[in-house]
């Protein structure tokens, strides 16, 4: 009979940091989607109104591969294989990044943001790598392990979905909101005419959300 064993090993992560205009600027830490790079996410974060007041951070997924279309090195946060261990590995990685940012960039406000597959990472980071001051999620659902966590603490929430998004359906968003409501959380929701993208309407809403978090 074949035996399956898991063993922990070290791997090197990569994240991009664009400092804010002032020392001690608040931190906006983001997670890209499947088959994307940290550079792509950072480009989107830069488009947020008022983003220059924040230190922008884009974390690259540990699982890298070559894009079949562009041959660029892109990333994925996990697959279904050994999923629970991958979640733990990713959260340990994020916790290390946050600790290093706190050491080098100060103790200012912290907001997590995630797009598509990176949305699940943002949910998990907010629930398990906090405390944090806000969570921005676009085009991705609430993961079951967060929804069913025995003790769940979440910051103010901003969720976004385009009405033409083929990956994050309207029924799934409705279910996520119901699940959050049952746990005592209320989210601000932005619905816009568009697809699975960082739409200008959503970026404007993120800018307003960050301004409120910043105080």
Tens of pLDDT, residues 28-87: 999 999 999 999 999 999 999 999 999 999 999 999 989 988 899 999 999 998 899 999
Contact indicator for 122, 32 with CB cutoff of 8 Å? no
Peptide bond into 131 cis (omega under 30): yes
Tens of pLDDT, residues 127-141: 999 899 999 999 999
Tens of pLDDT, residues 174-192: 999 999 999 999 999 999 9
Q: Which domains does the chain have, with CATH numbers?
A: 15-209 (3.40.50.1820)
Measured CA to CA in angstroms, residue 49 lies from 54, 92, 173, 195, 205 at distances of 11, 31, 25, 21, 9
Distance CA 101, CA 96 (A): 9
């Amino acid at each position: 009979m074949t035996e399956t064993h898991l063993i922990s090993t070290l791997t090197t992560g990569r994240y991009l940091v664009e400092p804010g205009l002032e020392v001690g600027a608040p931190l906006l830490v983001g997670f890209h989607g499947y088959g994307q790079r940290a550079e792509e996410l950072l480009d989107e974060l830069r488009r947020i109104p008022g983003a220059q007041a924040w230190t922008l951070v884009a974390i690259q997924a540990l699982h890298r591969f070559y894009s079949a279309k562009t041959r660029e090195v892109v990333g994925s946060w996990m697959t279904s294989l050994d999923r629970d261990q991958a979640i733990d590995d990713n959260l340990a990685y994020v916790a290390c990044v946050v600790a290093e940012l706190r050491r080098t960039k100060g103790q200012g406000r912290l907001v997590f943001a995630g797009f598509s597959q990176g949305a699940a990472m943002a949910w998990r980071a907010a629930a398990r790598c906090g405390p944090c001051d806000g969570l921005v999620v676009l085009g991705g659902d609430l993961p079951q392990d967060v929804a069913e966590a025995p003790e769940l603490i979440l910051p103010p929430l901003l969720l976004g979905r385009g009405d033409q998004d083929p990956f994050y359906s309207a029924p799934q968003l409705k279910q996520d909101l119901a699940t959050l409501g049952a746990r005592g959380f209320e989210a601000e929701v932005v619905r816009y005419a568009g697809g699975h993208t960082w739409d200008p309407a959503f970026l404007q809403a993120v800018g307003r959300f960050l301004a409120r978090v910043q105080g």
